[in-house]
Structure formats: C-alpha cells, structure tokens
Structure 1
C-alpha cells in the first residue's frame, strides 16, 4: 500500500493520503490508465460514492426506517428509485459531475438511486429464492470456484483440535438421507454425487452446505450447518445448528434465512479471497517483476504485457478507496474491519500451480483424470458452466502460449540460458511472492513446459478467472436479497420477539436480517461500477495494435488463437440454447455468459478483458 510517512515519535508511523484533496495516487507512469473514460469514471465515481455520498446517504436513512419492509420496497430501487430530500439532492448535485449523475445516480424528477434491473430478477422476481437457483449459483454464479466433492461423512475440519476442539460437523444421516433419491450416504459418496460448499474453517458463523447431484443434473441442497465459536472458549469446539429444506411454515422461513447466511459468508469470501486476493493482488508481483527484469523486446514481455493493462492503477485505487480501513468494502461486507486481515491469512493457502484450472478442479474433486474425455478430464457435474466454459478457454490459452513460446524456445536448454527469464523468475518468487519463496511447488523454470504452464496460469488469472468472478457482481449481486453481503442478526430463537416476528412476517425478518437500506444502496452502487466494461476495453484474442510484433510465426499463432476464441464463444451460445443443460440458465432464466470472450462496453454480464482492469 502507498502511505505518506509522518515523522512523529515513532519513525515507522505511516499515514494514508488525504483523498479528500486528491486521487492522484502514485502509479509508475507506464502503468497509469491510458484511456481517459475509464480513468475519469473510476476516479469520480468511487470518490463520489465513498467520500461525498456516503454521509449524505446515511443522513437520509437516519431520518427514515433503516430497513426495507418488503421485497416490493427493494424493487423500487430499479423501478422508480428512492425519494431523496431536496437538501440532499443539492449536496449531491454540487459535488458530483453531471456525467456521474447520469451514469450512477439516475434522475427521474427528484428521484435518485434508480438502478438498472439486475439479470437475476429480470424475468422472474422471485425465482432466486428457489433451492435450485441457490445451488446453481455455486456452479454458474459469482463465486463458482468453491464447491467441492464431499469424500467423507460427516464433514471434518482441518482446524487443530488442540486449539479449537472438535469441529466435526453435526449434520447426521437422518438430516439428509430422505433426499438422496433412495440412495444411502455411503452409496452417494462412492458414486461421487455428494458435494459441499464449506466455509467452516475460515469464518465465524461459519457455514457448511451439503448438496446432492440429482439425475436431472442439477444440485439439490440437503442441509445447511451454521456454527458459532463456543462461549466458554475455542477449545470447546463450536455451537452448531443444522437446517434442512422445508416447503412451508416457520421451518421454510428458517431455511430461507439459513440460505441467506450462506450467501453472506460466500459473498465475503468471494470479494476478499476469490476476487481481490486470487486475481488483483497475486497478479501484481508478476507485473512488477516483468517490468523490472524483462526488456520490452523480450518475447515473454510481449506475450504477457497485454494482460497487465491497468491492473496496478486499479489496485492502487482499490487500496486507497475500497479495501482501506474504513473504506467501502468494510462497510458493505460482513468481515468489516477484519477484511484485510482475513485476506492476508488466506494467502498462506495460495499455491501458484494450483491456479491452473485443471489442477483446481482436480483438487476440489469436481473432476477426475480420464483420457477418453476432452482435455483428459471428466467433470463429475457434467453441467458445470464455469468449468465447462473455463476449460475451453484454458486450453485455448495454453495452445496459444505453446505455439508462441515454440517460436523462440526450441528446447529446454534455451530456457536455462535465458538470463532475463531466469532473473524474472527469481525476483518473482523471492521478492514478488517472497512470503512463499521457500515453497517447494514453484516451477523451477528449467523447461519449456514449465514456462508454458507458468505463462498460461498468469494469463488465465488476469483474464478469464477475473472475468468469471467479477462481471457477474451486478447481474447476481445487484439485487441484495439474492446475494446478501452482511447480516445484522443471528437466527431467531423460539420464545423471543424476533421469532414471533419471523412467524408473523418472514419476508420482513429476512430483509431486516440482511438488507439495510443504506448498505444495500452503497453495495449496489459499488458492484455496478465494478461490473462495467470501459468503451475501449481490449478482450481476450485481441491486441491494442496489430504491430505488436514483426515475427510472422507469432502473428500467425495469435490469429489462430483469436479464431479459436470466436469458435468457443459460438459453442457457448449453442449450449445456452440447450434446455437439457438446466444449470446454464436456471429458474431465473439467466443464461451463463460470464465467460463469453467478447462484449460491448457497459454493464453486459459477459466479456473477458485481457487484464484485471476494473
């Protein structure tokens, strides 16, 4: 992070830039935004929301009930906006450029805060509440990289029992066996049909969600376990509750709440780990090492440079405005002031070779090696949109990298003798990702295969992986009840006023638990910005200029890559028209487009930019 040093009694004391005065954050000159529209959009929009509008929004909601009374109230954000007092309107108009008012806080008379309709409710306003859609979004939603195969029952924990006691799941076979289509738990585990979304070890009010792969190819949620630390100390284990699907009554209301808590936990993990840590943060050391150690004429520099566009600039803005102490993310995500601590702790689990999509799928047990299948992998959930589309993109990138590297490196010896390449890899491991310099699983960079795999992983992270977990934020999360990011209450207990309110008005209880007005509006504003493409974005298979190299073989290989990317997109469109593939569109009738390579500018829910540029 960038700080300004203030000399006090402790010379190590650091102070953050005063962003009320400037957003002129230092970024190396050749890493600054090169396209004015995106630069202005981010600078003004983020600064306006966080510094100017945040206190004004709070003043609005302090004078009115700080909660929605019904889902119809939430829908007003998209249908007509919220009525804002004239005094607040004046403050906003005086502080926000006109183009920002049009883009973010659209006007309808005196009504601000009118947002585009998120895709998840565009066709059906309530299909998001179904169990099928809840499960489908683990395969095709914002965070499709967490679900894994369950290989033991009950689910176990990796936490040290000497410190945390017994953390074994309290889910029993009685909770789930009635929903296994006549099978026993042992049978479905052997047949690899039992899956889990497991956030238990990482988070407080941790969740474990068990799911069953049905004959129709969709996942059925079986049980949700929520766990709290033991009040007498961690060594006593956890206090857990198990919820199972019910179709009516208070049990259904509790089940809906349980799904909401899973959404909260998964949203926080998504933003801080899957998104920030595993794409934005980890790619930056590669950018720095590439610029420091590789000449602009070096073939690997030319290969990777498009995949670094705008990343350092957007990360610098993010550190100052979004993920900083007291910033927007701490306000809108449940991890609050512990957000960066959480992200830093989970960095210890990051392993570079496992970022390769095939390795990730194998590690999570959602795929097995099978030479008879395309790419040598068999998906255990055949209709897994992120994995199906992702594998096509992954192997297209790898083929392109292999073709390109083969032009310049004819054998392994040429890799070993490339002094710039070896210096680049040494700096990357020992300084860029210096916390992990001793880890044995880093590639040694002694063979062409190691170079090809390394460059493929870098391009995958910067392009397709980031696209898959970023540009669905507004289509899915722009409607907060579907993707709540923060909760204010625990599950109500029998005999309490909260439980009585749940009986009387379950929808209002759900909204009071997860969707306060101010945080909803701020969260929607942020994910709308983060889900937008700039008008001059450069997408996978494209380059800023046709003259990026004069080598005919490299240009021919790139043209082949571009054509392959176009063909892959056409194949995705055909699959989205196949009604047998229910996980590609779900009850919400929302096709999976997050890995479509191409896009127009704006809020499209599709498109793979070359780099982490937003």
Structure 2
C-alpha cells in the first residue's frame, strides 16, 4: 500500500493545513454574555476564561518534524478490497506565518504529497497527531491537483494523540453526496466514520471522544449526597416522559442504581469549540453564583425584622438597581477570579457594591411596569410571547384528570368580564375574537401542595380583551389553590378585578405579580429549556449518528446546532440539577424540571412550526391571500409579525436547498441514511412519544422540508425569541 506511487512518474502537490493550538482556544472575549439568557450565561463564562488561564504560548514548532501526519485517500481509485487507495504518510513541513487568509489565532503549515495519475483525485485523508497535546484542526486545502485544481476540506474538529482513537481520524472533502451518489471508493470510509460516532453504547465516555449515544435524564439528582437531592428519572416512562440526552456512562449512585452519579459532564468533543478547561471555569462560575452570590442575596434582601424572607417595600427592590448590595470580602474573593461575574452583576471598580442594571422599562418610568398596558404588552412582546391564546369557550375548562384533581373548571362568570367590556357581552366578544387567555392553571395546580410547603403561590388564569386600538387590556385574574381538603376535591379560587385606587389596586397589583411569577417560571422551564434546548438535543444526536458529514441534510442542519449539547450538559451539571440555580431561584424549587416533563407529554413536533402554533393558539387563521398564508388576529403582535418573516425565509431556503438533492419523493424514500436518521429521532431520541400519529412519515419531499424547517426554526429563531430578551 505504501508503494503505490512510482517516483519516476509522480509529481508534488502542495497542501495547506490550518489549525489552532489548544491554549489559543482558552481565550475569548466576554462580550457574548451581555445579551445572554440564564442557560446561555454558560457560553459567556466559557468565553471569559481569558483573564484566568494565562498567556498564549508560541507552540508552532511543536507541530513540525514527524509530529503531525496525513495520508491521502482517493475518491476515484480503489484497492483490491474496493476501498479508496491510501497514499503514504507525510508530515507537516513548514510554518506559514504570513498567510493572508488566516483568521485570528490560526496557524498555517505547508505539506507536500507525491502524486501519480494512477491515484486519482483525493476525496478524503486520514490524520494522525503524534504530539501529546490536542489541537483544533480548522481546514486543509490541496492545491494544483492536475486536471482538478484544488480540493478543500473544512474540518473544524479536535484531534488528540492518535493512541486515543481505535482507528485513524478521517476527514472528507467539502463535497456533498447522498449515500447512493457517494464515489464508490469513499463509501467504506463514510460508513466507518458513522460507526465511530455511534460508539458501542458501553463504558465511560472520555473527554477526547466524539461518540453520540442516548440516555435518559437520570443525572439531575444525587441521592448518595442527601436524600433530599434525589430526583425522578426523566425519560423512559409514561410518568416522566422526556427527550433523550447524550449518554455519559458514569457510575450509578449507590442508593438508586438507575440514577447516574453526578460528576464531570461528557460532551462529544467537537460540540465544545473552546478548550475543556473553559468548561471547568464555567461550572466553577455557576457554582460560585449558587453557593455564594445567591445566599448573599437572600441574606441582604430578605433579612428583615419586619417581614423576614420578604421585601418590605418597593424601595427595597429599587435599591438593587440604584444603591446596590455591599459585597463582603469573602464574596469578592469568589468573584474576582472570574471577570464574567463582574460583567453579569456590574460590580463597580473601586466600590465593593453589586448593582443590577435597570431594565429599560424602569429607565423610562419607575412605575411603568405596574400598568395594565405593560402587563398586556409583555404577553405578546415580552420574553415569553408564545403562550397566550384565543379564548374559545367560557368559562375556561381544565384538562386535568377529574379522578385525580376533581373539578378544576374556572369559577369566572360573565359578570366578572362584562363589567369592563364597554357594553359588549361575553358572547359577542368571543365571537369577535377579542378575548384571550394566559392560562397556567393546569401546569401549576398539580404541584401547588408541594410548592406551598415553602412558598406562596397560586395557579393563575388571566383573561384579556383586545381593544379597538389593538392593545390588550386585562379583565380579570383567577388565583387558584388546591381545595383545603385535598386537590382531589378540585380548586379553591379567588377572582381579582382591575382597580386603580385604594386597597383593591394593591390586591390587583399583587394578582398580576402572581401571574408574572407563573409566566417567568414557565418561560424558563418550558418555553426556553424544554422547547428550544431539551427537544433539540435528540435531533443533534441522531444527525451525528446517522447522517454522514457528506450528507446534504447534515450540512443543512449542523450550523444551527452549535453549542446546544454543550450548554445542555453544563445546565445538567449546575443549573437544572438538584439544588442548582434554577431550583434555588425559581418558584417550583425541586419540582422545576419535573414540571417540564409534565408539559412534554403534550409536546407536538409539527405544532412547533410557527404558522401551526399561531393557528393552534387561535392567534392566526388560515388565509391564502395573506403573504404568509395566515392572517393574525392581533395585528400588533411583534413575535408573530417578525417571526412569520423569519419562518418564511427559513422555509424558502430549505425548499430551495432540498430540491437540489431530492427531485422526487422516491429519492427521499430510498435515502437509507435519511430514513435511519428519522427513525432514530422518533423511536430513540423522542422515544416516549414514538407512538404519536402526528410524526411526519418522511416519505416525501414535503415531510422533509417541513421537518427541517421546524428543526432550524426551533434551534435558531424560536430560541432567540425566548432567550435574548431576558433581563441578564
């Protein structure tokens, strides 16, 4: 095999290898966290390791000599076994410090190969790293191949010492093929690469691995540490259905053999662009928040002789923005190694004071947030604008099992609404599509008995009226608790009406506050975490396991998956875990993630398409004459107005792209990789919902376009809508 070249008839072809040493990737800037959400603070702290790790070391000479090797693989010529011919091993030769096309912190090296016409055109290469340190391989370009010009390889992958792998790393040229259209010499290598990404489903995953496999959420609790830290396993049962996560293979806990012992998170190596040390700083930073900063807030904010554990006045809230909190020395020592924490909380230089940046609505008017106008506006233009729906029946009914929860039907009456309907009857308002509801009753009612052992909360229903000027006016809020004799006897409810004077105005303001508490918890746990993080991870796993990097759908989806698995893993380690930041700071406490499991029972993939979601919630009706095929019921609905433009752009792009590779439905049906991918998404990734009839069958072009559009929308635009508007 090493003698396939005849030196008397061969010639040299030049290659350029671009890479980044691992120490370079310990350094990024902190600006990305400024508009990040709670889950995305993870990425911000990861990018903030610059002031912690140290200086960049010039390690370019470490890659020269016989330290980094490559072998070409032919895309046009095969050996006796039918596999692409493999060339002889060659090494990096020269550092290219002035290559003009390099990005920041990238190093380029030259490499030369003997080439013979009998070898054909290279379509892949094998790669070995003989050094002890990993590095990030960015790209490889082969220039001046006779009769073919150049061949480009976009790699973007971490490469560890060759002994870390069972087989050599294989990289393919930047071409796109369905499996049936792949050059025959590359088919074997395409299939072998996918096998390496699937792994064998056993053993503890190591940091250098790129294995994608499925597991349930069984690592959120730690019963060995404390019985109070035990958490139910999410996924794998009808009781707690959940999307799957990447398998780590850690040891089980002693007290619950089905639970996995918390510890170092495993993330497939290429899902973490930065160096692993950065993830350690992230985890340290989050835990510092949890163990030091949050207790500080509690002690300062809630240490009151008048009403312990509560704010005594709105002035105490305003002091968080205007006066700040004086930081004790031991807290400063925790924050000082991590400049990102200073950025998050705006710790002022020269002052041991922690201040919150004021929200824009407060900057305009200190009392603007208290108005009914702002309350209604945030339901369609705030951080959680995708829950409100059209009220279609009155009084609102519950979908909770009456055998368990009794009668949970609303106690609201027509008189409660008509007092503020300006002469309209409820029937006319319903028929005119002018009544809307923000309904968190069924989500929180099953958990209120547990929640209220330590907190004070209601399950809420809010009904709003669409005024002639297109704005929403709240009409009534229903606050419900489980019946005093037990939730099986139904709910005990209070009806609160708008008021702007006296004690009633204070009660109305408190009722709105309870709605916002419900809304903020649902936003973070469901709209954000569940609907844009957890449900996406199975698609990422299946894509890497079943769709080759040469596959067009892999190339279509991959850019929208970046950082998701990494952030999800970090969230399991320090955010949504038992006694993590979410449990400490959100109303449901230990029941937080369990609530998202209950909501997942009713998750429908096809409803995630924006037009379908709007129609289902009654916020739009089908209208073929409309530019987007739907007409909005509330015209001034920023999330929908902007979202429909983005949805159409995504779907148009997907339609154009898919049509290049799938001219007929038959091509979709006969694409073995595509069919394996979709089967695994449904049966493994979302296995708890695999029997649902709403899953697309992936038998035609329409199914493929719709499914890819939904995945891209969910991972990008929908995520942006529920994340980047957060106060952080």
The interval holding the TM-score normalised by the smaller chain is 0.7 to 0.9
For the residue of structure 2 that corresponds to 1:122, the secondary structure is helix
- In the TM superposition, 1:37-436 aligns within 5 A as 42-58=282-298, 60=300, 66-84=309-327, 88-94=328-334, 96-105=336-345, 106-204=347-445, 205-436=458-689
Once the two structures are TM-superposed, the CA of residue 214 in structure 1 deviates from its matched residue by 0.5
Rounded Cα–Cα distance in structure 1 between residues aligned with 2:253 and 2:502: 63
Instruction: State whether residues 33 and 313 of structure 1, in contact with CA within 8 Å, keep that contact through their aligned partners in structure 2.
Output: no
Instruction: State whether residues 128 and 134 of structure 1, in contact with CA within 8 Å, keep that contact through their aligned partners in structure 2.
Output: yes
Rounded Cα–Cα distance in structure 1 between residues aligned with 2:466 and 2:312: 36
Once the two structures are TM-superposed, the CA of residue 89 in structure 1 deviates from its matched residue by 2.1
- Could you tell me which residue of structure 2 aligns to residue 33 of structure 1? 273
The runs of 5 or more residues in structure 2 that have no matched partner are 1-216, 220-249, 446-457
Structure 1 range deviating more: 281-290 or 148-157 = 148-157
For the residue of structure 2 that corresponds to 1:410, the secondary structure is coil
For the residue of structure 1 that corresponds to 2:694, the secondary structure is coil
For the residue of structure 1 that corresponds to 2:419, the secondary structure is helix
Rounded Cα–Cα distance in structure 2 between residues aligned with 1:264 and 1:7: 34
TM-score (norm 2): 0.61
Give yes or no for the alignment of 1:16 onto 2:262: yes
Rounded Cα–Cα distance in structure 2 between residues aligned with 1:119 and 1:13: 44
Aligned residues: 466
Once the two structures are TM-superposed, the CA of residue 96 in structure 1 deviates from its matched residue by 3.9
CA 380–422 in structure 1, closer or farther in 2 if over 3 Å, else same: same
Rounded Cα–Cα distance in structure 2 between residues aligned with 1:233 and 1:67: 28
CA 146–35 in structure 1, closer or farther in 2 if over 3 Å, else same: farther
- Could you tell me which residue of structure 1 aligns to residue 706 of structure 2? 453
Q: Which has the higher contact order (CA 8 A, sep 6+)?
A: 1
CA 10–186 in structure 1, closer or farther in 2 if over 3 Å, else same: closer
Instruction: State whether residues 462 and 474 of structure 2, in contact with CA within 8 Å, keep that contact through their aligned partners in structure 1.
Output: yes
Structure 1 range deviating more: 381-390 or 60-69 = 60-69
Q: Deviations over 1:174-209 (max 9, x none)?
A: 111122122111111111111111111121321110
Rounded Cα–Cα distance in structure 1 between residues aligned with 2:259 and 2:402: 38
CA 12–436 in structure 1, closer or farther in 2 if over 3 Å, else same: closer
Once the two structures are TM-superposed, the CA of residue 430 in structure 1 deviates from its matched residue by 0.5
Once the two structures are TM-superposed, the CA of residue 398 in structure 1 deviates from its matched residue by 0.3
Q: Greater Rg, structure 1 or structure 2?
A: 2
CA 37–224 in structure 1, closer or farther in 2 if over 3 Å, else same: farther
- In the TM superposition, 1:485-524 aligns within 5 A as none
For the residue of structure 1 that corresponds to 2:470, the secondary structure is coil
Q: Deviations over 1:273-331 (max 9, x none)?
A: 11111110000000000000011011000000001101101000101111101111011
Cα RMSD (Å): 2.2
Instruction: State whether residues 253 and 261 of structure 2, in contact with CA within 8 Å, keep that contact through their aligned partners in structure 1.
Output: no
Q: Deviations over 1:552-598 (max 9, x none)?
A: xxxxxxxxxxxxxxxxxxxxxxxxxxxxxxxxxxxxxxxxxxxxxxx
TM-score (norm 1): 0.72
Rounded Cα–Cα distance in structure 1 between residues aligned with 2:468 and 2:300: 50
Once the two structures are TM-superposed, the CA of residue 126 in structure 1 deviates from its matched residue by 1.1
Once the two structures are TM-superposed, the CA of residue 59 in structure 1 deviates from its matched residue by 5.2
Instruction: State whether residues 101 and 107 of structure 1, in contact with CA within 8 Å, keep that contact through their aligned partners in structure 2.
Output: no
Which protein has the bigger strand share? 2
Once the two structures are TM-superposed, the CA of residue 450 in structure 1 deviates from its matched residue by 0.6
Once the two structures are TM-superposed, the CA of residue 357 in structure 1 deviates from its matched residue by 0.5
Give yes or no for the alignment of 1:5 onto 2:251: yes
Rounded Cα–Cα distance in structure 2 between residues aligned with 1:378 and 1:9: 55
Rounded Cα–Cα distance in structure 2 between residues aligned with 1:40 and 1:265: 33
Once the two structures are TM-superposed, the CA of residue 44 in structure 1 deviates from its matched residue by 4.7
Instruction: State whether residues 330 and 339 of structure 1, in contact with CA within 8 Å, keep that contact through their aligned partners in structure 2.
Output: yes
CA 9–301 in structure 1, closer or farther in 2 if over 3 Å, else same: closer
Rounded Cα–Cα distance in structure 2 between residues aligned with 1:231 and 1:470: 38
Rounded Cα–Cα distance in structure 2 between residues aligned with 1:350 and 1:441: 11
Rounded Cα–Cα distance in structure 1 between residues aligned with 2:274 and 2:334: 28
Once the two structures are TM-superposed, the CA of residue 38 in structure 1 deviates from its matched residue by 8.1
- Could you tell me which residue of structure 2 aligns to residue 556 of structure 1? none
Rounded Cα–Cα distance in structure 2 between residues aligned with 1:139 and 1:409: 38
Q: Deviations over 1:234-262 (max 9, x none)?
A: 33221011001011011111100100000
Rounded Cα–Cα distance in structure 2 between residues aligned with 1:125 and 1:8: 53
CA 117–41 in structure 1, closer or farther in 2 if over 3 Å, else same: farther
Q: Deviations over 1:510-568 (max 9, x none)?
A: xxxxxxxxxxxxxxxxxx2xxxxxxxxxxxxxxxxxxxxxxxxxxxxxxxxxxxxxxxx
Rounded Cα–Cα distance in structure 2 between residues aligned with 1:2 and 1:167: 32
Structure 1 range deviating more: 103-112 or 1-10 = 1-10
Q: Deviations over 1:210-252 (max 9, x none)?
A: 1110101001100000111112233322101100101101111
Once the two structures are TM-superposed, the CA of residue 76 in structure 1 deviates from its matched residue by 2.6
Instruction: State whether residues 52 and 92 of structure 1, in contact with CA within 8 Å, keep that contact through their aligned partners in structure 2.
Output: no
Once the two structures are TM-superposed, the CA of residue 138 in structure 1 deviates from its matched residue by 0.5
